[in-house]
Amino acid sequence: MIWGSNTGVGKTLVSAGIAASVLSDPQPSHVLYVKPVQTGFPRDSDSRFVYLKVSDLLRREGLKLVCMTLYAWNEAVSPHLAVEREGMVVSDSVLRENWRGTVWRLVETAGGIASPGPSGSLQCDLYRPFRLPVVLVGDGRLGGITATISAYESMQLRGYDIVAIVLEDHGLLNEVSLLSNLRNRVPVLALPPVPEDPLDNLIDWFGKSSKVFSSLQEILLSHHTTRIKRLHEMRKKGGDIFWWPFTQHELVTDENVTVIDSRCGENFAIHKVCSNKDMLLPQFDACASWWTQGPDAIMQIELAREMGYSAARFGHVMFPENVYEPSLRCAELLLEGVGQGWASRVFFSDNGSTAVEIALKMAFRKVLHDRGILDSENVDTRGIEIKVLALNGSYHGDTLGAMEAQAPTSYTGFLQQPWYSGKGLFLNPPTVFIFNGIWTLSVPDCLKPDVLEQDDMWFNSYNDLLSKSRDSSTIAKCYFSYISNQLLQFSASNHTTFIGALIIEPVIHGAGGMHMIDPLFQRILVRECRNYKVPVIFDEVFSGFWRLGRESAAELLDCVPDIACFGKLMTGGIIPLAATLATEAVFNAFKGDSKLMALLHGHSYSAHAMGCAAAAKSMQWFKDPSTNINIDKRKNLKELWDFKLVHQISSLPAVKRVVALGTLCAIELHAKGIDLGYASLGASTLVQQLREDGVFMRPLGNVIYLMCGPCTSPLFCNHQLSKVFGRISQIP
């Protein structure tokens, strides 16, 4: 792709020179020259110029050259102004269509790298999904060093590979300075001065420039060959040296390994060989890269810019007793957003599991403080044991302490964690799902009342589940009785053991299989723990920041915690960062005259400036209706799925249940034979089929899921969901 550091730097001359060099080979390749956008047409036509000049240079018929202009306007102004004045609106997606070419495909942009396209989008953003190798035509004139370096850095910021810089020699030796200042990272070539009257003298100029264009051709071929070779090697090399998480390597084949060249918004660009041709194809990241991704392509650039600025300004600053703008702004936004109305303190860490461990430490101290144990002199603490109250099926992280706060699962078994003892009282929660188009409540036997009314078990919508009228229902009384009895029995039988925290994943159990918990049950559970003065922890590492349609899942439960953990989507998936929010009462439990009373927990990279900057930008972006087309300003709710299609999927014979909320749509398939849970491979064939359809998935046993970002358009989401519907419909 031929880009210019400014207008009038000779992009079209360079395009013609490369085409001529390729076609002058003894066995020339085909060349396709594309000018996507042209203004001043037909008087100015770069595609016509390239064709005529190359024909004049080579002086032979039957050239393997095709030159085409995709969209053109008469007035010689910026394309977005031409659209405004002459009409013919061209969207970014339409402009990016029909780009399949031959081996040599030269795409010449219009104006400088940041010149607007027809829609007003900057061209460097408009063409980013292709990420074609870049030939940057620099500026050899006075002031050209600044323009060229600025263009180079702007392209790099967006993830382009600049293969070479070529510029006209104006006698200022700009190429020497550029090569030095760019630390020889990219070749810089100088072309002879262009004649003042190029219409009469360009044949001679091209002759003098032939060695430069020949060198440029070799550089481009070398880059392409090296790139393709590396892409072919990556699959095997990755399998030979990586130890992938949550992966049984004995089950991994070459077909399972996806080689990712880049990412742009919701899509990976993956390497595939189709009919012996190397292709980079878009593939939707349906896992949201382990639930972290939320930005669209434009926001991805915004985050890169914020992080680059923070890295250049701060590098890394140790956090204790220091304050700097990114950390302060991030903390302010957390307290104004997900912590609004209850939290007053922010403790930074680096991942969700660690945020949970910090939350447990906070809660345990609060319990000790409230029970007066810390105030007692010479108290014997040897017999005291603290446990958590949690739900079966929940998951709170991989670290050893976080595992102790969850019930036995595949993740905590002896093979994984021989030290595991499960320091908790684990309750069986009721779950909710869509089956045959109806929201259905599934209640464990230990919770069922003698009489269940139909209104207690089936619902028309998720909003009906959230209705306050359910607080006085028969099922609510059943929940209250079960929870109260469990707490009373535990207290009566344990005199030196007490519950130090309630920890729950609000609304959705993520890694446990994408099970939706009845919000009424969790709300009653929180209220009862308040009565017993048990600190409440919400593990919102998965659910926070609009993942479930609200900024915080606490809004769906209509209750708040004492402590909450956040991560994943907080930074838009671009860098690790986590935060544990707490009330002032929890914070005060750590005050004292001795440093030993403080929370002795921390990380070298706590509150890293780049992470805090990315989080601040992400939180603002997700929340601001002016930047997000999916937010309902009246309800403050984001829903992405077409529920008519969701209900159709829930009625398919192969489907056991569906959960759809906010950015998540999860589908559990019926097990064939014994249900092995997380170890099941029943969805493997479907997953491979969907990857071929351009949807990247990793199942949780028999559960497949689609997860989009809060900024993803519903149209895009439902296009992906239609692919899933089509494949599942074919399962016998």
State how far the Cα of 191 lies from the Cα of 139, in Å rounded to an integer. 11
Whether residues 534 and 665 share a domain: the answer is: no
State how far the Cα of 690 lies from the Cα of 258, in Å rounded to an integer. 13
Residue 451 has pLDDT above 90, yes or no: no
Task: CATH number of the domain at 727, please.
Answer: 3.90.1150.10
Those residues with Cβ within 8 angstroms of residue 173's Cβ, 6 or more apart along the chain or in another chain:
none
Phi–psi pair at 97, nearest 5 degrees: -80, 165
**Residue 643 resides in a domain:** yes
> HEC profile for 531-570?
HCCCCEEEECCCCCCCCCCCCCCHHHHCCCCCEEEECHHH
* Residue 157 pLDDT level (bands cut at 50, 70, 90): very high
Contact 301, 316 (CB under 8 A): no
The tokens for 627 are 């930047």
Q: What's the number of domains the chain is made of?
A: 3
**Residue 611 resides in a domain:** no
pTM: 0.93
Contact 345, 632 (CB under 8 A): no
Listed in sequence order, the DSSP H helices in 425-518 are 454-457, 462-466, 474-493
State how far the Cα of 494 lies from the Cα of 500, in Å rounded to an integer. 13
pLDDT at 634: 36
The tokens for 459 are 């619902």
State how far the Cα of 115 lies from the Cα of 153, in Å rounded to an integer. 15
Contact 606, 351 (CB under 8 A): no
Which residues pair with residue 431 across a beta bridge? Answer: 442, 517
**Residue 524 resides in a domain:** yes
Residue 14 has pLDDT above 60, yes or no: yes
pLDDT at 572: 93
Determine the 3-state secondary structure of 407 from DSSP. coil
Rg for the chain, CA atoms, rounded: 30
Instruction: Give 498-552 pLDDT, tens digit per residue.
Output: 999 999 999 999 999 999 999 999 999 999 999 999 999 999 999 999 999 999 9
Contact 723, 286 (CB under 8 A): no
Mean pLDDT for all residues in the chain: 92
Whether residues 442 and 543 share a domain: the answer is: yes
State how far the Cα of 396 lies from the Cα of 415, in Å rounded to an integer. 18
State how far the Cα of 206 lies from the Cα of 201, in Å rounded to an integer. 9
Whether residues 416 and 369 share a domain: the answer is: yes
pLDDT at 380: 65
State how far the Cα of 567 lies from the Cα of 572, in Å rounded to an integer. 10
Of 551, 584, 606, the domain-final residue: 606
DSSP 140-189: -STTHHHHHHHHHHHHHHTT--EEEEEEE--SS-HHHHHHHHTTTSS-EE
Whether residues 352 and 473 share a domain: the answer is: yes
Residue linked to tokens 């994408």: 514
Nearest by Cα to 165 from 157, 151, 154, 173: 151
pLDDT at 202: 85
Neighbours of 346 (CB within 10 A): 20
Whether residues 83 and 213 share a domain: the answer is: yes
What is the identity of the amino acid at 20? Answer: A
Whether residues 587 and 668 share a domain: the answer is: no
Of 581, 606, 631, the domain-final residue: 606
Taking CA atoms, 515 is separated from 463, 499, 687, in Å, by 17, 25, 20
Of 231, 263, 295, the domain-final residue: 231
State how far the Cα of 295 lies from the Cα of 546, in Å rounded to an integer. 12
Determine the 3-state secondary structure of 606 from DSSP. coil
Instruction: Give 458-469 pLDDT, tens digit per residue.
Output: 998 888 999 988
Task: CATH number of the domain at 198, please.
Answer: 3.40.50.300
Contact 502, 535 (CB under 8 A): yes
Task: CATH number of the domain at 521, please.
Answer: 3.40.640.10
pLDDT at 198: 59
State how far the Cα of 28 lies from the Cα of 46, in Å rounded to an integer. 22
* Residue 293 pLDDT level (bands cut at 50, 70, 90): very high
Whether residues 202 and 269 share a domain: the answer is: no
* The total number of residues written for the chain in this structure: 732
Those residues with Cβ within 8 angstroms of residue 587's Cβ, 6 or more apart along the chain or in another chain:
344, 345
Contact 535, 586 (CB under 8 A): yes
Contact 336, 329 (CB under 8 A): no
What's the angle, vertex CA 116, arms to CA 718 and CA 7, rounded to 5?
145
Instruction: Give 40-99 pLDDT, tens digit per residue.
Output: 999 999 999 999 999 988 887 778 899 999 999 999 999 999 999 999 999 998 888 765
State how far the Cα of 664 lies from the Cα of 294, in Å rounded to an integer. 12
**Residue 575 resides in a domain:** yes
Per-residue pLDDT, averaged over 613-639, amounts to 71
pLDDT at 633: 43
Whether residues 553 and 673 share a domain: the answer is: no
**Residue 316 resides in a domain:** no
Instruction: Give 329-376 pLDDT, tens digit per residue.
Output: 999 999 999 999 999 999 999 999 999 999 999 999 999 999 888 776
Residue linked to tokens 């680096």: 350
Ramachandran class of 196: left when φ > 0, alpha when ψ lies in -120 to 50, beta otherwise: alpha
pLDDT at 353: 96
Phi–psi pair at 72, nearest 5 degrees: -145, 150
Determine the 3-state secondary structure of 724 from DSSP. helix
* Residue 284 pLDDT level (bands cut at 50, 70, 90): very high
**Residue 319 resides in a domain:** no
**Residue 631 resides in a domain:** no
What's the angle, vertex CA 125, arms to CA 120 and CA 128, rounded to 5?
140
Lowest model confidence (mean pLDDT) among 164-168, 379-383, 513-517, 615-619: 379-383
Contact 166, 18 (CB under 8 A): no
Listed in sequence order, the DSSP H helices in 624-662 are 643-650
State how far the Cα of 193 lies from the Cα of 184, in Å rounded to an integer. 23
Whether residues 259 and 224 share a domain: the answer is: no
State how far the Cα of 63 lies from the Cα of 70, in Å rounded to an integer. 21
**Residue 49 resides in a domain:** yes
Whether residues 540 and 595 share a domain: the answer is: yes
pLDDT over 70 percentage in the chain: 95
Determine the 3-state secondary structure of 619 from DSSP. helix
Per-residue pLDDT, averaged over 617-640, amounts to 68
Q: Which helix (H) or strand (E) holds 2?
A: strand 2-4
* Residue 678 pLDDT level (bands cut at 50, 70, 90): confident
Taking CA atoms, 599 is separated from 131, 133, 366, 710, in Å, by 47, 50, 12, 34
pLDDT over 90 percentage in the chain: 78
The order of strands in the sheet holding 104-107 is 65-72, 31-38, 104-107
Instruction: Give 203-216 pLDDT, tens digit per residue.
Output: 889 999 999 999 99
Determine the 3-state secondary structure of 300 from DSSP. helix
Whether residues 270 and 366 share a domain: the answer is: no
Q: What does DSSP say about strands 385-391 and 424-427: parallel, antiparallel, or unpaired?
A: parallel
Ramachandran class of 655: left when φ > 0, alpha when ψ lies in -120 to 50, beta otherwise: beta
Residue 637 has pLDDT above 60, yes or no: no
DSSP 6-39: STTS-HHHHHHHHHHHHHTSSSPPPEEEEEEEES
Whether residues 153 and 224 share a domain: the answer is: yes
Range of the domain at 275: 243-285+639-732
Per-residue pLDDT, averaged over 624-652, amounts to 73
State how far the Cα of 417 lies from the Cα of 394, in Å rounded to an integer. 17
